[in-house]
Chain A
């Protein structure tokens, strides 16, 4: 009697042991190294770093390994580690203009200064299973057939700046570099949210959620006529300017994917028509995420641009309160924790109501 709820402690220990065993799988199969995950599951590592808000390939690879490939669990692990790290400083804004570009495409002009650079993309692959890959050692080192003369020094100006020069797109003067930047991981989200906080929320947000929300805008739920103005992927320098030193210091180089959407124009009797912007940025190679983020960012600018919020994607509270997959996953899954006290209260009431019903209306 009363065994069902006893023995919690031993049950937990045993569950942890079982989990460790399942994670390792058949010991006859070689164990994964972090380097293998980093190199060969690089896009999983990128996603975990982006939504985990921590740029550290080795830790993200460890999280992927520990979570048995469950990326939301890996993101959670990385976040729970990140939360313990001290905040040493705030970097200068990334200069994506100065990016060492590995991929760069614009869908709005056939050619642009700096050129279209396809880079490593799945876009034009035929999605046929490559059975050769099933065999180890079948892979031979491959490089580009004919390496284009990459001219690292050649500037790759942003397509948006070209539009801006003509006044065709709303200008976006950079905020003061001294102005404080919001941080959701230190201060709770409040509404209405400023754009810096919104972009941080979306950058940390679940890729699948943003994909669906962005997709919905394309299907008419808050349509905003997007064009992929520019997508660029590559390495940028992270620079700190500590007060006590007095000059900027480059502390790291990171890979990011940036997407700038050009959206429906707006004009009025007093202002000439101009295109509007949506922005997306993610760590590593994460084009789907960056594009979806840019669509959602633009949809959420509705209030600022005087649009009627008619769809969930345009509803700031709806999107920003539900984008975080660590929060969502936790709250959905907490339903498996015991709720028998509350349920007992409901049972008592429902039985009373049924008894009362039976006594007044027989049957």
Chain B
């Protein structure tokens, strides 16, 4: 890999992306267009997140990569290997040991801390896209803070289903101003965005947008006074570590309807088990 620069991207490109990141941090929730590059991994596999990570990573960083909350899913492995090859930085699965966490679809269960950066891979950055397909229009709507259509959409859910039927990429207002799509994390993770001590960066490669939630910024999930925002609940704990109040994955274990619910966050789950298990690795 010696023919490639540190973290693959050339320094000029990194500077361009860092400028976009700085602007995104300065205007929380605002989607900053940037000159997204073609990356050696496919669009939809995290090209935006990889570019953001490549631009902010330094030799002393410790990187964690997760997909669906897990460190060992194929795409997480592939992206972690990419940075191991192109930067040689240390990697970890431990959330609190990481300085930089690239994620697809989840925020770790372990509370984040000051100084950490979380990089989200974003497929469709525009929260209004399903309501208005045209970029020229949605940019105008953001400029005018014209978000009524989104409330109408949520209201229509309530009339139809008795509740808001949006479960992931649940829309939020950042810093009281911009409507933002929090990548497709489940709404379960939305409260973790609010006043988080970590810096949250969102990269959409194919759509060429970067946005950010700086540390300690207010992130409010849209709701109504009589229909407050709620997150998912499971009526059982994790089958492996017994954790409650965490996001559970469902495994189908046989063809007779047998199911197992386990933590989506593999690091959180395995360390809880190790801590309570006198014989590690059982």
Contacts and interface: CB of A to CB of B under 8 A. Distances in A.
Interface in B29-53: 33-40, 42-45, 47
A335 B44 CA distance: 8
Contact of A356 (B33, B123, B162): B162
A80 B249 CA distance: 35
A12 B81 CA distance: 11
A1 B238 CA distance: 14
B162 to A, nearest CB: 7
Does more than half of chain A's interface fall in helix, strand or loop, or is it mixed?
helix
B75 A337 contact: yes
Contact of A8 (B4, B77, B206): B77
B186 interface: yes
Contact of A331 (B38, B73, B123): B123
A39 interface: no
A6 B247 CA distance: 19
Does more than half of chain B's interface fall in helix, strand or loop, or is it mixed?
loop
A307 interface: no
B196 interface: no
Contact of A334 (B44, B68, B72, B133): B44
Contact of A187 (B35, B78, B134): B35
A329 B232 contact: no
B76 A8 contact: yes
A80 B40 contact: yes
Given A185-B37, A341-B105, A347-B250, A334 B264 contact: no
A185 to B, nearest CB: 7
A345 B167 contact: yes
A188 interface: yes
A326 interface: yes
Given A317-B135, A330-B44, A334-B45, A80 B72 contact: no
A49 to B, nearest CB: 15
A173 interface: no
A346 interface: yes
Nearest to B32: A188
Given A8-B72, A348-B234, A331 B208 contact: no
A272 to B, nearest CB: 33
B187 interface: yes
Given A8-B72, A8-B77, A12-B78, A341 B44 contact: no
Given A12-B74, A185-B37, A345-B232, A334 B69 contact: no
A5 B74 CA distance: 8
Contacts of B279: none
B70 interface: yes
A344 interface: yes
B43 A326 contact: yes
B72 A331 contact: no
| Tier of interface size on chain B | 35 or more
B181 interface: no
Given A8-B73, A188-B208, A348-B232, A338 B68 contact: yes
Nearest to A7: B72
A313 to B, nearest CB: 16
Contact of A353 (B40, B45, B165, B249): B165
Interface stretch (A144-152, A189-197, A254-262, A273-281): A189-197
Contacts of A83: 37-39
Contacts of A103: none
B120 to A, nearest CB: 13
A18 interface: no
Contacts of A317: 133-136
B251 interface: yes
Contact of B262 (A2, A332, A345): A2
B203 interface: no
Contact of B123 (A82, A321, A334): A334
12 contacts: A2-B240, A11-B74, A191-B136, A317-B136, A335-B44, A338-B73, A338-B75, A341-B105, A344-B186, A345-B232, A346-B167, A356-B162
